[in-house]
Structure formats: structure tokens, C-alpha cells
Amino acid sequence: MKYTRAWEVKGFKANPPYERVLKVLLCPDLHKTKNFSLGMTVLPPGSSSSPHIHEKEEEVWYVVWGRGEAKVGDEKIPIERDVAIYVPPNTSHQLINTGDESLKVLWFFTPPGPEKKFLGREVGEA
């Protein structure tokens, strides 16, 4: 069995203007998963993730708590707890916290790979 206790994962804290904490929960490098990685992003009120793309990976977001907006390509939708969003490869996407509490979102990549940039990194590293 492979498992992680999210509260024990230190995570990577990104500096403003895209302040957030990213935690890798399951991935090939740490847990020997084969076809996916799973993680969590926590955005404080008023913050957002950077707009970005993943060239070959599909991504799924699942909102655990909070409210905000999801931008995927040319679309923007309001998000709240229990909303799931699919992000196709090579599509610009961004999370924005418009609420007054933290926005906590699980993310899932297949194939895995993008999570590697957060493993072993320090706060504010590019």
C-alpha cells in the first residue's frame, strides 16, 4: 500500500504574485506510482496560480474547499467545493481564489511529470 498524510508533507511555498503552497502527495519518484501523480494546491484569499500549460499531460482539479474561479483556455467558471475540472494537454489554465478563505484543490496528472519541479525545492526558487 502507498499512502501519504497530507498534513505531514512540507510542500513548496511559492512567493507572490502567485502565492500558494503546493504539495506532492503521490508520485513515481517518491511512491513508485506508474501512470499518475497526485498533489494539492492551497491558495490564500486573493491569490492565484500562475497561468501555464502542460504540453503532454492531462490534469484534473478537484475543489476540496473554498471558492474561486478556474480558467481553462478561453473559458472561466466559478468554482466551489466538490467541483471537478478537466484540463486537456497544451491548454492554458489557472486557479484564482476569489473567496475570503483558503482555496484547497487536489490535482492529478497523467502521465506524471510536472510535479517533479516541486520536489526538493525551496521557497521562491524559480
Domain map of the chain by residue range?
13-118
Strand order across the 103-110 sheet: 12-14, 20-26, 37-43, 103-110, 58-65, 84-87
Determine the Cα–Cα distance for residues 35 and 53; give it in Å rounded to an integer. 19
Write down the mean pLDDT value for the chain.
92
CATH superfamily of 13-118: Jelly Rolls (2.60.120.10)
Tell me the pLDDT tens digit for each residue of 66-85. 999 999 999 999 999 999 99
Question: Which pLDDT does position 61 carry in this prediction?
Answer: 98
Determine the Cα–Cα distance for residues 62 and 122; give it in Å rounded to an integer. 26
Q: How confident is the model at residue 126 (pLDDT cuts 50, 70, 90)?
A: very low
